[in-house]
Amino acid sequence: MANNPPFDLADRTFRFACAIVRFCRKLAHEPGVTRHIAWQLADAGTSIAANYEEAKAAYSRRDFTAKSSIVLKEARESRMWLRLIEAEKLAPIDEVRPLLNEANELVAIFTTSVKRLRLTATAGIVCLALVFAYSVSYGLSYGLSYFNF
């Protein structure tokens, strides 16, 4: 991976997917469990970019949050496979380490993003619950018309 990752997250996830494909093509030459791990990593690592593209085309904020959560899960899975490859020395450390660093950064980015999206959604629900409680306390018709519902 490059020393200066791109600012565009779509480009960054795409470049990560490309790097994962190149890495897994080499790793898949080994027979047995190593080949299986390479395929698992390829699935998860390329899914990050694909699901991020899906998230960008989401129909609603809720849909965007759900798809971003899938991106986060795939990033975590990629990180786990890379950690396993590093721990078991299935590939040279100088090839694994940059991918693992990028996977860690993607997990951090999408964890923050998903937390903020969920917090915003929760804040909206709490606000609506407070409006409802206020409406029930002071008369339903007055409360709802006051808040333009």
pLDDT in tens, 49-60: 999 999 999 898
CATH number at residue 51: 1.20.1440.60
Closest among 104, 109, 101 to 10, alpha carbons compared: 109
Is 66 exposed, middle or buried, given 0-12, 13-18 or 19+ CB atoms closer than 10 A? middle
Percent of the chain at pLDDT exceeding 90:
64
Percent of the chain at pLDDT exceeding 70:
77
Residue 120: what pLDDT?
Answer: 72
Is 130 exposed, middle or buried, given 0-12, 13-18 or 19+ CB atoms closer than 10 A? exposed
pLDDT at 74 over 70: yes
* Per-residue pLDDT band at 149 (split at 50, 70, 90): very low
* Average pLDDT over every residue of 55-69: 90
- What is the domain count for the chain? 1
Cα distance between residue 76 and residue 50, in whole Å: 15
Domain assignment of residue 30, yes or no? yes
Domain assignment of residue 134, yes or no? no
Domain assignment of residue 40, yes or no? yes
Cβ atoms of 99 and 20 within 8 Å: the answer is: yes
* Average pLDDT over every residue of 5-34: 93
Cβ atoms of 92 and 50 within 8 Å: the answer is: no
Each residue of 81-114: pLDDT tens digit?
999 999 999 999 999 999 999 999 999 999 998 8
Domain assignment of residue 116, yes or no? yes
> Can you give the residue range of the structural domain that contains 108?
9-120
The residue among 89 and 139 whose pLDDT is bigger is 89
Residues 6+ away with beta carbon under 8 Å from 78: 20, 41, 44, 45, 48, 103, 106
Residue 116: what pLDDT?
Answer: 87
pLDDT at 138 over 60: no
pLDDT at 140 over 60: no
Structure token digits, residue 116: 């903020």
Domain assignment of residue 132, yes or no? no
* Average pLDDT over every residue of 40-53: 97
Residues 6+ away with beta carbon under 8 Å from 37: 27, 81, 84, 85, 90
Residue 123: what pLDDT?
Answer: 53
Q: Record the pTM.
A: 0.77
